[in-house]
Amino acid sequence: MLAELINKPSRLIAGLMSGTSLDGVDVAIVRIEGKGLESKVELVHYGSTVYDDALRERLKELCSVERSDVAQVCGMNFYMGHVLADATKRVVAQSGLGMDDIDLVSSHGQTIWHIPENDPNDEILIRSTLQIGDLSVIAKETGKPVIGDYRTADMAVGGQGAPLVPYSDYILLRHETKGRIAQNIGGIGNCTAIPAGGRPEQVIAFDTGPGNMLIDQAVYTLSNGARSYDAGGEWAAEGTADNGFIEQMMSHPYFKRPPVKTTGRELFGKAYALDWIGRMQSRGLSDADIVATFTAFTARSIAQSYRDFVLPVMDAEEVFVSGGGAHNQTLLRMLGELLRQQRVTTSDELGISGDAKEAVAFAIFANNTLFGIPNNLPSATGAERPAVMGKLAFPF
């Protein structure tokens, strides 16, 4: 079965991304010719399915040290396998293709916990990561071979297991004469900075901090569950950002740490957001001011991280924003105001759909796994060496 796939001139791969914002599953159907850094990539169709509020809140509970439990983790691993398989079948059907046309499914899974560095106070809490959504369940339900569980291989060779997308950013965005930064704004923000004509080893990539995570939590809490994100950034546009709070939040030690670095719900999740919402409310900020403050803080944390860790090392002329945050006009405007020397635009301008980009990346990773070609970027994750990430589950 695998030899047949390798010998085809191109492969049709369904890449699945279910990210830290817990908003749902993105599915990209991608045709890939060739392999490795020379892969030729064509997005055939993209679709997403949204988690309902109950599932999203349940996943947040699962990502909570205080409220999670092993039975929930066990059950949700299989349940999410079904959710991911259903999303794949739905998007394939929407595209007008059939599952028979798909060669391979590639699934990121749902991160529920990530420990990028050893815990100095607990010798068992070593670098590790857990993405749920069982691969065998997806294989059974879709009838396709499934590759997933990528991050563990990078961690096994000393990496932080994230960010992984810089490998595919290098394939899709590198430019001979222009320094470029790809900024994804999902739940977390992460950047890939590629110098003009740069080699893979010269890529600087790291998580910049919160993406939409704080904005989403504020919107959900302050609207009493009526809304889960700030559509277009309109609520933030009605408020005034509070610089005092932004400065306080910028003093978080994560922002001072040089790359390689990665973060997630562990640092900027629900508890962190609710704590700052409470402080802002007690100082009399309105709901719109709170959303505006989180939005401005997010933009500031991105721009500041370039000033500290990217621009001293390389010139960057262009910033291409992707991920759901690219739809937040207020966030984009604030970022543009902070980065006067760069042209801030969206990756769609390059023909790379900002909504689909991460799901496309996972299709690219699977294509490499199939050939046994490394698909991590040690300069981004800190791994000691390249590794072939991904595990395979066969259909039945």
Ligand X SMILES: CC(=O)N[C@H]1[C@@H]2OC[C@@H](O2)[C@@H](O)[C@@H]1O[C@H](C)C(=O)O
Residues that bind ligand X (CB under 6 A): 19-20, 111, 114, 129, 162-165, 186-188, 190, 207, 262, 264, 358
Write down the least CB distance from residue 184 to ligand ATP, Å.
5
In the chain, count H helices and then E strands: 16, 12
Write down the least CB distance from residue 100 to ligand ATP, Å.
28
Contact 53, 225 (CB under 8 A): yes
Under the criterion CB under 6 A, does residue 187 sit at the interface with ligand ATP? yes
Find the binder of ligand ATP among 188, 316, 364, 389 (CB under 6 A): 188
- Which residue has its beta carbon closest to ligand ATP? 324
Peptide bond into 165 cis (omega under 30): no
Find the binder of ligand ATP among 276, 303, 327, 344 (CB under 6 A): 327
Q: Which does 23 bind (CB under 5 to 8 A by kind): ligand X, ligand ATP, none?
A: ligand ATP
Under the criterion CB under 6 A, does residue 379 sit at the interface with ligand ATP? no
Q: Which does 327 bind (CB under 5 to 8 A by kind): ligand X, ligand ATP, none?
A: ligand ATP
Q: Of the two residues 188 and 285, which places its CB atom closer to ligand X in the complex?
A: 188
Binding to ligand ATP (CB under 6 A) within 304-323 occurs at: 323
Write down the least CB distance from residue 189 to ligand X, Å.
7
Under the criterion CB under 6 A, does residue 149 sit at the interface with ligand ATP? no
Residue identified by tokens 């002329």 is 317
Binding residues for ATP: 19-26
Q: Of the two residues 137 and 377, which places its CB atom closer to ligand X in the complex?
A: 377
With CA atoms as reference, report the closest residue to 304 among 354, 249, 229, 262: 249
Q: What DSSP assignment string belongs to 246-291? A: HHHHHTSHHHHSPSS----HHHHSHHHHHHHHHHHHHTT--HHHHH
Q: Of the two residues 212 and 367, which places its CB atom closer to ligand ATP in the complex?
A: 212
Cα–Cα distance for residue pair 25/16, rounded to 1 Å = 7
390: left (phi over 0), alpha (psi -120 to 50) or beta: left
Under the criterion CB under 6 A, does residue 19 sit at the interface with ligand ATP? yes
Q: Give Cβ neighbours of residue 200 (< 8 Å, ≥ 6 apart).
A: 37, 167, 170, 377, 379
Cα–Cα distance for residue pair 67/61, rounded to 1 Å = 6
Write down the least CB distance from residue 188 to ligand ATP, Å.
4
Under the criterion CB under 6 A, does residue 216 sit at the interface with ligand ATP? yes
Residues present in the chain in total: 396
Report in angstroms the alpha-carbon separations of 23 from 149, 218, 229, 293.
20, 15, 9, 22
Under the criterion CB under 6 A, does residue 230 sit at the interface with ligand ATP? yes
12-20, 29-37, 289-297, 378-386 -> range binding ligand ATP (CB under 6 A)? 12-20
51-59, 182-190, 312-320, 333-341 -> range binding ligand ATP (CB under 6 A)? 182-190
Write down the least CB distance from residue 1 to ligand ATP, Å.
30
Cα–Cα distance for residue pair 55/310, rounded to 1 Å = 37
Contact 302, 254 (CB under 8 A): no
Residues near ligand ATP (CB under 6 A): 17, 19-21, 23, 26, 184, 186-188, 211-212, 216, 229-233, 323-325, 327-328, 358
